[in-house]
């Protein structure tokens, strides 16, 4: 897989659906793939935050790179789960060496909200675009 879908929690999903994402730290990168073995329309997701302030995890794209690497290798980790499709909003795509490309203006706004960079009125687009690039 060359590109990995990037998601944010779907803020409009019913509460019982959102509970599956409750353990994910805010601002975490969430990447996934539909679970072909599951007839219940679930998506397998891997996620990466930076709860402890690791120096090598600077941007959202850095977090997406780590989560995508685990997804590609099907790496066993606690930061993996299967959630209903409706719990997620597709906001972009991660490609190694390129960072995160947002899907459209709605994806940009949803991602900015997830990253705490949009308050409903103001968006620092330069800071947001810096988050979408790999730091190294």
Residue 82 CA: distances (Å) to CA of 12, 65, 73, 89, 100: 19, 19, 16, 14, 22
CB 48 within 8 A of CB 28: yes
Identify the band that residue 5 occupies on the pLDDT scale cut at 50, 70 and 90.
very high
Q: What is the percentage of the chain residues whose pLDDT exceeds 90?
A: 77
Q: Is 121 exposed, middle or buried (0-12, 13-18, 19+ CB in 10 A)?
A: exposed
Judge whether residue 136 has pLDDT over 80. Answer: no
pLDDT in tens, 55-67: 999 999 999 999 9
Largest separation between any pair of C-alpha atoms in the chain: 42
Strands 42-48 and 80-84, by their bridges, are antiparallel
pTM, to two decimals: 0.93
pLDDT in tens, 36-79: 665 678 899 999 999 999 999 999 999 999 999 999 999 999 99
Judge whether residue 25 has pLDDT over 80. Answer: yes
Per the prediction, the chain carries an average pLDDT of: 92
Nearby residues of 129 by Cβ (< 8 Å), 6 or more positions away:
none
């Amino acid at each position: 897989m060359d590109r990995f879908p990037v998601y944010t929690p779907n803020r409009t999903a019913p509460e019982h659906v959102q509970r599956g994402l409750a353990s994910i730290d805010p601002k975490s990168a969430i990447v996934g793939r539909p679970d072909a073995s599951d007839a219940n329309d679930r998506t397998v997701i891997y996620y990466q935050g930076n709860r402890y302030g690791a120096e090598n995890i600077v941007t959202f794209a850095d977090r997406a790179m780590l989560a995508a690497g685990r997804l590609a290798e099907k790496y066993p980790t606690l930061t993996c789960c299967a959630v209903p499709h409706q719990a997620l909003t597709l906001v972009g795509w991660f490609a190694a060496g390129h960072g995160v490309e947002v899907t459209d203006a709605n994806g940009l706004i949803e991602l900015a909200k997830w990253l705490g960079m949009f308050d409903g009125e103001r968006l620092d687009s330069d800071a947001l675009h810096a988050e979408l690039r790999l730091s190294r």
